[in-house]
Amino acid sequence: GDFVRNYSKKIGIMGGTFNPIHYGHLMIAEDARCFCNLDEVIFIPSGNSYMKEADDILPGELRFQMVKTAISSNSHFTCSDIEIKRTGNSYTYETLEELRKLYPEAELFFILGADNLFSIEKWRCAEKVFKECTLIAASRGEVVFDSLKKQADSLKETYQANVILLPERKMDISSTEIRERILNSQSVRYMMPEGVCNYI
């Protein structure tokens, strides 16, 4: 009724460059939602850093539109422009602080692939990230599942991080490969939702 509060609302955060978004992103977000009973997954495209702008990264607004297109059929998926609206680099700990203000009672989860579980210790204010949310990590690429488990254990041990590993699944797909295929005029159909292909 009227007095029900959001105490136990579980919110997953799916951060990424999404240049472009593809089925690997959508699959780990849906896996995380189902495995951890999340009420909602918020996709948050990263802002354009000066470093990456020199590269071939599309403007935030375009990546945001592609994400919106990709998630439109899933009522549990939403997307936020808080990082693309920020100038300069966007740091995950700042995003979590902002979301914490918006959802003071919610339980926050950060969804990420294996590559990022191995680099997260180097992120700006990583200990704040560990404190503010539970990590949900997905297997990816050549990373052996056992070494992913070891990395999760090491983060728990060293930083008291909360880490949940998703059951192993390999979606051998990356935005890098999609960009290369487009440059080489190769097909990228079925690597991402059709709406995103059309958008590109």
Shortest distance, position 28 Cβ to ligand ATP, whole Å: 5
- Please state, in angstroms and rounded to a whole number, the distance separating the CA atoms of residues 164 and 168: 12
Rounded to a whole number of angstroms, the distance between the first and last alpha carbons of the chain is 44
> Residue with CB nearest ligand ATP?
113
* 33 near ligand ATP (CB under 6 A): no
What are the residues whose beta carbons fall under 8 Å from the beta carbon of 124, sequence distance 6 or more?
Answer: 91, 92, 93
Among 32, 171, 188, 196, binds ligand ATP (CB under 6 A): 171
Among 11, 12, 18, 130, binds ligand ATP (CB under 6 A): 18
- Of the pair 33, 140, the CB lying nearest ligand ATP is at 140
Return the axis-axis angle of helices 60-71 and 23-35, rounded to nearest 10°.
60
Among 48, 69, 92, 116, binds ligand ATP (CB under 6 A): 116
Name the β-bridge partners of 137.
Answer: 112, 165
* 138 near ligand ATP (CB under 6 A): yes
- Please state, in angstroms and rounded to a whole number, the distance separating the CA atoms of residues 193 and 21: 9
**H helix or E strand, kind and range, residue 10:** strand 10-16
- Of the pair 2, 172, the CB lying nearest ligand ATP is at 172
- Please state, in angstroms and rounded to a whole number, the distance separating the CA atoms of residues 58 and 76: 26
Show contacts with ligand ATP in window 43-62 (CB under 6 A). Answer: none
- Of the pair 7, 141, the CB lying nearest ligand ATP is at 141
Tokens of 125: 């204010």
* 28 near ligand ATP (CB under 6 A): yes
Binding site for ligand ATP (CB under 6 A): 16-19, 24-25, 28, 112-113, 115-116, 138, 140, 171, 173-176
